[in-house]
Amino acid sequence: MRTATARPHCAAARPAPAAFIKSIGRPSHARARSVTVRAESAAAPLVLTGDIGGTNARLSIWQGVEELTSETYPTSQFPEFEDAFEAFLEVSVLNDFEAVGYGVPALGPGDVVPLNPNAAPVAQAPKCVMGPGTGLGAAQLFWDTGRGGYTVVPGEGAHATFAPRGWRQQALAAWVTSRLGHCEIEEVACGRGLELIYEFLISDDTRASADGKPLAKLSAPEITARASEADPLASEAVEIFLSVVGAEAGAMALRSLARGGVYIAGGIVPRLMERAGALRGAFLMPRGRERFQGILQSIPLYVVTNTKVGIIGSREYALRSLAQRQ
């Protein structure tokens, strides 16, 4: 699991209706009961059946007359029916960007915006996904030949120390360190990071509002909105922010040679597409990563615009888990 900023996703490996528990309550293990619940779907109705006896609980899922899957659980090992039901469903809690990672291979051309248009993804090559939102999530995808698909490896690289580029970012890192004791990448590459960058800029005594009064702090949505209106200070904050995100995306690309593509998700960057050049420039970093330009220019860079990528990933993970049991 990620830190408190994470938003975990749940994936159920079996397509059972949530109304099942509610409809039967808590049956006694001493008394046998049979229950049937239908769940309508677009393709065909799914039916979850349960035969709850004093010794065993038998659970099955049917589609029409075809039994998709079934399990038998000894009631002595499950004090409550809900325990057996949850074991049958195999509910998994995924790291937020683990779920996003499983969603990436299922995305279509309309779900992403390419920022490195001359680069084409290499089939079965590593992929990376990252995204600034409440925090900065990240994960890597590696091809699993045995499974015939990608396995997602989440990480906490966002908590590494921020490596500033240029005097302005160095001053920002020093300012954040003076306030927080340490400047992690996440501290300047997420929603609150954008707010910190803006606060850093207005801390300069030479900056003031038109009436000479000190400038007020702004929230991340307020900063992005003002940047879209060409406000100079908000625009500067956004440029620094995108440069930090782009540089970290480039570093992730090099760490795993992500020739399958680097995907930037999260809710902030898609709202800043008119300034995406700053992100791409920092990703390539022509000055500082000169030796690696050939590699970086060959790695696709995408901004994910489908806000349901995490839900899609949870679905993909659940379907894969179900297929492995059949």
The CATH code of the domain that includes 118 is 3.40.367.20
Q: Is there a domain that residue 17 lies in? A: yes
Same domain, yes or no: 263 and 235? no
- Mean pLDDT calculated for residue range 150-176: 95
Beta carbons of 62 and 17 less than 8 angstroms apart: no
Task: Examine the pLDDT at 322 and tell me if it is beyond 70.
Answer: yes
Q: Is there a domain that residue 325 lies in? A: no
Percent of the chain with pLDDT over 70: 84
pLDDT tens for 286-302 read 999 999 999 999 999 99
Q: Is there a domain that residue 170 lies in? A: yes
> What domain range includes position 269?
96-161+248-313
Q: Is there a domain that residue 318 lies in? A: no
d(CA 214, CA 211): 9
Domain boundary residue among 187, 209, 241? 241
For the CA atoms of 259, 279, 222, 137, the dihedral, rounded to the nearest 10 degrees, stands at 30
Least confident range from 26-30, 43-47, 152-156, 244-248: namely 26-30
- Mean pLDDT calculated for residue range 26-53: 56
d(CA 139, CA 131): 10
Three-state SS for 3? Answer: coil
Task: Examine the pLDDT at 326 and tell me if it is beyond 70.
Answer: no
Least confident range from 20-24, 191-195, 262-266: namely 20-24
Same domain, yes or no: 81 and 130? no
Q: Check residues 18 and 306 and name the one with the higher pLDDT.
A: 306
Same domain, yes or no: 137 and 257? yes
Confidence band for 136, pLDDT divided at 50, 70 and 90: very high
d(CA 154, CA 139): 4
Q: Is there a domain that residue 228 lies in? A: yes
Task: Examine the pLDDT at 31 and tell me if it is beyond 60.
Answer: no
Residue 7 pLDDT: 44
Residue 114 pLDDT: 97
Token reading at 98: 């683990």
Domain boundary residue among 241, 264, 281? 241
- Mean pLDDT calculated for residue range 140-163: 94
d(CA 307, CA 111): 9
* All residues at 6 or more sequence positions from 26 whose CB lies less than 8 Å from its CB, including other chains: 80, 81, 82
Q: Average pLDDT over the chain, rounded to whole?
A: 85
Q: Is there a domain that residue 123 lies in? A: yes
User: Does this model's pTM top 0.85?
Assistant: no
* Token pair 């975990």 in the structure block, residue: 8
For the chain, what is the domain count? 3
Domain boundary residue among 219, 241, 263? 241
Task: Examine the pLDDT at 241 and tell me if it is beyond 70.
Answer: yes
Same domain, yes or no: 179 and 62? no
Q: Is there a domain that residue 262 lies in? A: yes
Q: Is there a domain that residue 2 lies in? A: no
pLDDT tens for 54-106 read 788 888 888 877 888 888 989 889 888 788 888 887 767 788 899 999 999 99
